[in-house]
Amino acid sequence: MRVEIWSDIACPWCYVGKARFEKALAAFPHRDQVEVVHRSFELDPGRAKDDIQPVITMLTKKYGMSEAQAQAGEDNLGAQAAAEGLAYRTRGRDHGSTFDMHRLLHLAKDHGRQGELIQLLYEANFADERSLFEDTERLVEIATGAGLDAAEVRTVLADPTAYADEVRADEREAAQLGANGVPFFVLDRKYGVSGAQPAEVFGQALTQAWGERSPLRLIDDGGDVCGPDGCPVPQP
């Protein structure tokens, strides 16, 4: 079974939702037969690479809330994260474009390191004191920590077209599936789960999707096949 997760590194509920989903997956009896694929979704796709500002400032401008309201929201998110065993800095974080991070996640997918990279990016954004947005070498450091080659990472970051089509394709597909927010979980292209639901909800979704997988329907018309013992030879 395949689970696809549309998310953004700048999304705190994606950070929390990932932890809750993984808690459910760890308890799922068929977890070894579940493939998890992370898909791209930018909350702020038009943001310039050099447009970096404090999270509180971004929240007040984008949502028209006061600084006190924005800070209260961050404090609540910090408590939600802590309940899942996650570190979360409620003060001093910044916000910027995540486009390069999504491009690197597609590179990581090619090397089978996507899960490792997205977790390190989340931790760097929400828990570390160093900014994730101000220094390209910070991304190189994180990507190599996930097992990627530094030279290849730098090559991708230096070419803004590298994996750009893959990021945009993911975002178009999210729109086609009706996802206008993240996190958004799609199970075997049959079930969608929106938001950072409790682990119990994810567990129920996994169980239901697994139970309703379509078994292979074999159409056997006696056609010739090749097997371990060789291939049948047509007789004259």
Tell me the per-residue pLDDT of 117-143, one tens digit each, with 9 for 90 and over.
Answer: 999 999 999 999 999 999 999 999 999
What is the mean pLDDT of the segment spanning 194-199? 96
Closest of 166, 165, 191, 198 to residue 177, by C-alpha: 191
Query: What is the structure's pLDDT at 220?
Result: 55
Query: What is the structure's pLDDT at 41?
Result: 97
> 79-101, pLDDT tens digit by residue?
999 999 999 999 999 999 999 99
| Paired strand residues for 166 | none
Mean pLDDT of the chain: 93
- What percent of the chain has a predicted confidence (pLDDT) above 70? 90
Q: How confident is the model at residue 219 (pLDDT cuts 50, 70, 90)?
A: low
What is the mean pLDDT of the segment spanning 180-206? 95
Close Cβ partners of 169 (under 8 Å, ≥ 6 residues apart): none
Closest of 108, 105, 81, 96 to residue 170, by C-alpha: 105
| Paired strand residues for 5 | 38, 185
Measured in degrees and rounded to the nearest 5, phi and psi for residue 98 equal -110, 10
Q: How confident is the model at residue 228 (pLDDT cuts 50, 70, 90)?
A: low
Query: What is the structure's pLDDT at 156?
Result: 98
Query: What is the structure's pLDDT at 223?
Result: 53
Q: How confident is the model at residue 213 (pLDDT cuts 50, 70, 90)?
A: confident
Instruction: Compute the distance between CA of residue 180 and CA of residue 145 in angstroms, rounded to an integer.
Output: 32
What is the mean pLDDT of the segment spanning 145-168? 98
Say if CB 170 and CB 6 are below 8 A apart. yes
Q: Which residue's structure tokens are 């074999």? A: 218
pTM for the model: 0.89
- DSSP code for 234: P
- DSSP code for 23: H
Query: What is the structure's pLDDT at 172?
Result: 97
Query: What is the structure's pLDDT at 82?
Result: 98
Query: What is the structure's pLDDT at 212?
Result: 87
